[in-house]
Amino acid sequence: MKPQIAELRRLIEGAAGVAIVAHERPDGDAVGSLVALTLCLQNAGKQVSSILADGVPSRFRFLPGSDEVQRTFPTDCDLLIAVDCSEFERTGFKSEDLPRSVDVNIDHHPTNTHFGAVNIVDPQAAATAEILFDLADPLGLDVDSHVATNLLAGLVTDTIGFRTANVTPKVLQVAARLIEYGAPLAEIYERSLNRRSFVAARYWGRGLSRLEQEDGLVWTSLTLEDRQHVGYTGKDDADLINLLSTIDGAEVTVIFIEQPGGTVKVSWRSRAGLNIAPLAAAFGGGGHHQAAGAMVTGDLEQVRERVISATRAIFESDSGKGK
Ligand code: 5GP
Ligand code: MN
């Protein structure tokens, strides 16, 4: 057993109260990994608080156990675990909001800063959920159908339905095991990836109406006014980026989502062979080779200008090529 895993086992055995946090603006891997680990530790007799700064997005509320997620930390706990966070700031909390510093950091982002006292980071893993599945046995934790459902939701969403280049035979073997444990693949796929609200579709329409293309680059923006006009209450792109990245010839896709207070959320997606994680890191963000993001200060116009010109440059240099 790796020393970090033995240490995690020791920490879990010695803890009565555990708090687990995943990242702000949570995706399916953040919610699924958080809730799966929460349920495992509850089944092992621990008192567990699961926390998301932004709460659970409606599309993931079908996940069993997701209704227990809180938005704030308890005043006290013996063990604090972060899942699917590449750096501490991704939790969406300040250190003074936490009852203790992060003991354990479990993640799969190549840009992870190893901010925990114990760090279990595997950039080869397709999702944090895959790492957690592998940890269950050595940690002596049971995977039941609810745990499996949450883990499979993490795998399905982070691989966009097993479509990303990091889907190995092992990822599909893990998925098969999770289905054997009772995870309903078709329902997870439908609810967490395919289904859209009417309002989200209208929001997409605003972004699609101003879509631009130049060589292998495709981009668009979503404004505060768009969200107000259609009544979309999220601060995200409602996953429009994944639709844009299916466009023929779009080697790199970028979306700019205007935020309140003079910042812009930028999301990048690339086809296999172009690594956009360093570009996102250069703008203060991070992510994976083919999916990365950053929160950039400035107005929409300025940020678009800066980001598009920097993104154009990765086609011209070799820095984005290879893995
Ligand atoms: P998305 O573009 O869907 O928000 O995120 C794509 C990937 O980039 C995810 O793996 C996510 O964790 C990462 N990412 C998105 N925004 C940020 C950010 O502001 N900071 C960091 N470090 N990573 C981000
Ligand atoms: Mn993830």
Query: Residue 113: nearest ligand to its CA?
Result: 1
Report the atom number in ligand 1 closest to the C-alpha of 109.
10
Q: Are 204 and 254 members of one domain?
A: yes
Q: Are 36 and 160 members of one domain?
A: yes
33 pLDDT more than 70: yes
* Longest alpha-carbon distance in the chain: 57
Residue 314 confidence (pLDDT): 87
When pLDDT is cut at 50, 70 and 90, the band that residue 156 belongs to is very high
Residue whose CA is at the smallest distance from ligand 1 atom 20: 285
By CB atoms closer than 10 A (0-12, 13-18, 19+), residue 305 is exposed
Residue 320 confidence (pLDDT): 52
Q: Are 237 and 274 members of one domain?
A: yes
Which of 267, 270, 276, 283 for mutating ligand 1's site (highest number of atoms within 8 Å of CB)? 267
Q: Are 105 and 176 members of one domain?
A: yes
When pLDDT is cut at 50, 70 and 90, the band that residue 318 belongs to is low
Q: Which residues pair with 293 in a beta bridge?
A: 267, 286
Ligand 1 centroid, distance to 265 Cα (angstroms): 9
Q: Which residues pair with 217 in a beta bridge?
A: 214, 252
Residue whose CA is at the smallest distance from ligand 1 atom 23: 286
Alpha carbons 48 and 173: distance in angstroms, whole number: 29
The answer to whether 252 and 274 are in contact (CB under 8 A) is: yes
12 pLDDT more than 70: yes
Residue whose CA is at the smallest distance from ligand 1 atom 12: 287
Q: Are 164 and 211 members of one domain?
A: no
The two structure tokens encoding residue 38: 């929460």
Report the atom number in ligand 1 closest to the C-alpha of 292.
8
Q: Are 185 and 288 members of one domain?
A: no
Q: Are 45 and 162 members of one domain?
A: yes
Query: Residue 32: nearest ligand to its CA?
Result: 2
Residue 277: strand, helix, or coil? helix
Nearest Cα to Cα of residue 221 among 253, 178, 180: 253
In the chain, the number of structural domains is: 2
Alpha carbons 138 and 123: distance in angstroms, whole number: 20
Range of the domain at 284: 198-321
Q: Are 103 and 241 members of one domain?
A: no
Which of 21, 24, 25, 27 for mutating ligand 1's site (highest number of atoms within 8 Å of CB)? 27
Alpha carbons 193 and 249: distance in angstroms, whole number: 23
Residues with CB under 5 A from ligand 2 (ion): 29, 84, 128, 158
Percent of the chain with pLDDT over 90: 93
84 pLDDT more than 70: yes
Alpha carbons 274 and 270: distance in angstroms, whole number: 6
Query: What mean pLDDT is predicted for residues 25-44?
Result: 97
Q: Are 176 and 232 members of one domain?
A: no
Residue 286 confidence (pLDDT): 93
Ligand 1 centroid, distance to 316 Cα (angstroms): 24
Predicted model pTM: 0.91
262 pLDDT more than 90: yes
Q: What are the pLDDT digits (tens) for 228-251?
A: 999 999 889 999 999 999 999 999
Q: Where are the alpha helices (DSSP H) in 159-298?
A: 169-180, 185-189, 198-208, 224-230, 240-244, 277-282
Q: Are 154 and 283 members of one domain?
A: no
Following DSSP, what letter does each residue of 129-156 receive, concatenated?
Answer: HHHHHHHHHHHT----HHHHHHHHHHHH
Ligand 2 centroid, distance to 133 Cα (angstroms): 13
The two structure tokens encoding residue 83: 């899942």
* Residue finishing a domain among 177, 194, 211: 194
* Residue finishing a domain among 194, 229, 247: 194
Q: Are 76 and 177 members of one domain?
A: yes
Chain-wide mean pLDDT for the chain? 95
Q: What are the pLDDT digits (tens) for 189-222?
A: 999 999 999 999 999 999 999 999 999 999 999 9
Residue 104 confidence (pLDDT): 98
Q: What are the pLDDT digits (tens) for 87-138?
A: 999 999 999 999 999 999 999 999 999 999 999 999 999 999 999 999 999 9
Contacts of 61 (CB under 8 A, 6+ apart): 67
CATH number at residue 181: 3.90.1640.10
Alpha carbons 168 and 190: distance in angstroms, whole number: 22
Ligand 1 centroid, distance to 34 Cα (angstroms): 17
Q: Are 176 and 247 members of one domain?
A: no
Name every protein residue with a CB atom under 6 angstroms from any ligand 1 atom.
86-87, 90, 111, 267, 285-288, 291-295
* Residue finishing a domain among 194, 216, 239: 194
Report the atom number in ligand 1 closest to the C-alpha of 294.
19
85 pLDDT more than 70: yes
CATH number at residue 203: 3.10.310.30
Ligand 1 centroid, distance to 277 Cα (angstroms): 9
Ligand 2 centroid, distance to 229 Cα (angstroms): 31
Query: What mean pLDDT is predicted for residues 290-295?
Result: 95
Residue whose CA is at the smallest distance from ligand 1 atom 8: 292
